[in-house]
Chain A
Amino acid sequence: MGTLIEEIFGRKAGRSVQAGEILLLDVDYIMSHDNTTPLAIKAFREIGKPILDKNKIVLHLDHAYPAPNVLAAENHKNIIKFVKEQGLPHFFHQGVCHQVMIEEGFITPGAIVIGADSHSNTYGAMGAFGAGLGSTEIGVAWVTGKCWFKVPETIRIELTGKAQSGVYAKDVMIYIAGLLGMDGGTYRSVEFGGEYIDNLPMHERIVFPNMSTEIGAKCGLIAADEVTLQYLENETPAKGPFEMIQPVNPRYERVLEIDVSALAPQVACHPDVDNVKPLSQVEGLEVHEVYIGTCTNARYEDIEIVANMLKGKKVDPFTRVIITPASERIYKKAMKNGLIEILLDAGCTVTGTGCGACIGRHGGILAAGERALTTMNRNFIGRMGSPLSEIYLASPATAAATALTGRITDPRRYLNH
């Protein structure tokens, strides 16, 4: 009996649990990447005990991969040495950690997965608990297989209606961030549901838990359903049967109902994710870079939307349009289906996979005074480079329309109805 998070935690605890309780739970997978693994290794060495279960550990190189400088290279060298020394079976450099976690079947309904990355909330799209933690806890979990959690209160976001053409999950989620604010979900589980969510395919659903981080949430959850099962069976090596955990007579702290039918494309403006405006209010603003990438919006379908809009056209010659597929699997599919060629012909730059420009390490850094429109999830000052640059967040369709003009542009001008 309870909210989705109470049901998921209760299943692991073997008893019914309630918001406010503190639990010590077995975790299914422990994720970290090249930015956060070094401190986890330090904690692990200091504890001085062996790894409990190597199979639970998943390491990625994605934040600065391939290495853009010597420090990053040393970092990768040390991590690879550790992986070899410990004989760890799950080591990847095939794309953004969260996308690879899902593609490789580590994320299944009811799983508890912790990650040393704040966007580990992404896993909630599969009906799993995913949460970001610091590196020390990752090192602790390697040794103990466990992690402590306070069972959070839940904010339920009930999304009804049908989005207009040109309005995507990203627009809806940005709108929610604007409503709730950057600390509107702090410590909370944010449960997304309703007929709008029920009808969304997985690649769109993922946007909501992914960006629940931007409102401070502990986790963002969508209950597993037929869409989840189909995705797991068709797109991942995960083996069922899967438990479709649902909320049961839940008591929510707050329920927010939003009808998406009337919503227009939205933009989160410099310098805060909750500085949200309808696109119409910023249309025409000059941009110097359009970046389509990250764990939020660089999946195959996102790239397909962009390619369809750019097919046979040329992007603005003075705007750098950079596309970073979230994973190699996505990259290969896009290549096989001719999308990469369309993008290159349109004048885009397609980079290797990974976190790329999103964290300002490489792959599209901004100069002082420049403005980027991106499909990222956060727009903190200086995140993509110069502290004097600006980041605007929007959907892949808005990014494509903006790429064509070099100015923030409503995608509905270019979409075929």
Chain B
Amino acid sequence: MGKAWTFGENMNTDEIIPGRYNITIDPLELAKNVFCEVKPEYAKTVQPGDIIIGGQNFGCGSSREHAPIAIKGSRAKCIIAASYARIFFRNCINIGLPILECPAAVADITEGDNIDVDLASGQIFNRTNGHQYQANALPDFVLKIADAGGIVNFLKTHDIQELMTNAD
């Protein structure tokens, strides 16, 4: 279970982590300033397992990986957004930050709600209001990357072809 932190539409990579903090690639350092312009209390009080709720086109802007690295460094469990910008979506998968797409959940969840997420099935349960939502289940290969903690870790022990094989 994690607490919901809600963010708006078109959250761009500069709002996730401003360019001036991108001089480091250390996740914990980046996490100190994540969302500092839009929600400074996040970095100070986020707890491991909390959930980021975003609107449409979450992560738009540059291809910089500092943005998902900063969120992962904050130990959020996952992002649930109405939709994602393309490169951000890939970057999250590759660095092992789970993401779900579920407009219904985004529309209903309010800041501070207690949320359960089952990443494998895409089921989202809102303990605060008792509502349940179904996100599109992540493809198998994405779960394999997520389970390994990212594509780099996956490749340390697997061949990339194994991403596409079902029996694992």
> Could you list which residues of chain A lie within 8 angstroms of chain B, going by C-beta atoms?
22, 24, 36, 39, 42-43, 46-49, 71, 116-118, 132-137, 139-140, 143-144, 146, 148, 182-183, 186-187, 216, 218, 380
Given contacts A24-B161, A24-B163, A134-B91, contact A380 B61 (CB under 8 A): yes
B107: which A residues are within 8 A, CB to CB? none
* Contact assessment for B164 and A186 in the assembled complex, using a CB-CB cutoff below 8 Å: no
A47: which B residues are within 8 A, CB to CB? 152, 155-156
A139: which B residues are within 8 A, CB to CB? 152
Question: 14 A-B residue contacts at CB 8 Å?
Answer: A22-B139, A36-B63, A132-B63, A134-B87, A137-B90, A140-B94, A140-B152, A143-B155, A146-B160, A148-B163, A182-B60, A183-B60, A186-B85, A187-B86
- For residue B31, CB closer than 8 A to chain A, the reply is no
A117: which B residues are within 8 A, CB to CB? 63
* Contact assessment for A144 and B87 in the assembled complex, using a CB-CB cutoff below 8 Å: no
Given contacts A48-B156, A140-B152, A140-B155, contact A216 B63 (CB under 8 A): no
- For residue B57, CB closer than 8 A to chain A, the reply is yes
* Contact assessment for B65 and A134 in the assembled complex, using a CB-CB cutoff below 8 Å: yes
In the assembly, what is the distance between CA of A133 and CA of B65, in Å? Answer: 10
- For residue B70, CB closer than 8 A to chain A, the reply is no
In the assembly, what is the distance between CA of A216 and CA of B141, in Å? Answer: 24
| Complex A-B, nearest 10 residue pairs according to Cβ-Cβ distance, in ascending order | A134-B91, A144-B160, A134-B65, A183-B57, A136-B94, A47-B155, A46-B152, A118-B63, A24-B164, A132-B63
* Contact assessment for A136 and B83 in the assembled complex, using a CB-CB cutoff below 8 Å: no
- For residue B95, CB closer than 8 A to chain A, the reply is yes
Given contacts A22-B141, A39-B65, contact A216 B57 (CB under 8 A): yes
- From A24, A133, A148, A183, give the contact of B87 (CB < 8 A): A133
Q: For the complex formed, measure the closest distance between the CB of B159 and the CB atoms of chain A, giving whole angstroms.
A: 8
Q: How many residues of B contact A (CB 8 A)?
A: 31
Closest to B56 in A: A183
Given contacts A133-B87, A216-B85, contact A186 B57 (CB under 8 A): yes
In the assembly, what is the distance between CA of A118 and CA of B60, in Å? Answer: 11
In the assembly, what is the distance between CA of A182 and CA of B61, in Å? Answer: 10
Given contacts A39-B25, A133-B90, A186-B83, contact A140 B61 (CB under 8 A): no
B91: which A residues are within 8 A, CB to CB? 134, 136-137
* Contact assessment for B90 and A134 in the assembled complex, using a CB-CB cutoff below 8 Å: yes
In the assembly, what is the distance between CA of A218 and CA of B95, in Å? Answer: 20
Interface residues of A: mostly helix, strand, loop or mixed? mixed
- For residue B121, CB closer than 8 A to chain A, the reply is no
* Contact assessment for B63 and A144 in the assembled complex, using a CB-CB cutoff below 8 Å: no
Q: A133-B90, A139-B152, A186-B83 are in contact. List 6 more A-B contacts (CB 8 A).
A: A118-B63, A134-B94, A137-B94, A140-B94, A186-B86, A216-B85
Closest to B61 in A: A380
B14: which A residues are within 8 A, CB to CB? 380
Given contacts A24-B163, A144-B160, A216-B57, contact A136 B65 (CB under 8 A): yes
* Contact assessment for B155 and A116 in the assembled complex, using a CB-CB cutoff below 8 Å: no
- For residue B51, CB closer than 8 A to chain A, the reply is no
Closest to B88 in A: A134
A42: which B residues are within 8 A, CB to CB? 25
B62: which A residues are within 8 A, CB to CB? 118
In the assembly, what is the distance between CA of A39 and CA of B69, in Å? Answer: 12
In the assembly, what is the distance between CA of A46 and CA of B153, in Å? Answer: 8
A140: which B residues are within 8 A, CB to CB? 94, 151-152, 155, 160
Closest to B145 in A: A148
A380: which B residues are within 8 A, CB to CB? 14, 61
B152: which A residues are within 8 A, CB to CB? 43, 46-47, 136, 139-140
B57: which A residues are within 8 A, CB to CB? 182-183, 186, 216
Residue interface bits B59-85, CB-to-A below 8 A is 1, else 0: 011111100000000000000000101
In the assembly, what is the distance between CA of A49 and CA of B151, in Å? Answer: 13
Closest to A119 in B: B63
- From A24, A134, A186, give the contact of B63 (CB < 8 A): A134
B86: which A residues are within 8 A, CB to CB? 186-187, 216, 218
B90: which A residues are within 8 A, CB to CB? 133-134, 137
Closest to A219 in B: B86
From residue 73 to 120 of chain B, which have CB atoms closer than 8 A to chain A? 83, 85-87, 90-91, 94-95
Q: For the complex formed, measure the closest distance between the CB of B107 and the CB atoms of chain A, giving whole angstroms.
A: 18
B10: which A residues are within 8 A, CB to CB? 182-183
In the assembly, what is the distance between CA of A48 and CA of B65, in Å? Answer: 20
In the assembly, what is the distance between CA of A49 and CA of B157, in Å? Answer: 11
Q: For the complex formed, measure the closest distance between the CB of B37 and the CB atoms of chain A, giving whole angstroms.
A: 11
B164: which A residues are within 8 A, CB to CB? 22, 24
- From A24, A135, A183, A216, give the contact of B65 (CB < 8 A): A135
Closest to B83 in A: A186
In the assembly, what is the distance between CA of A144 and CA of B152, in Å? Answer: 11
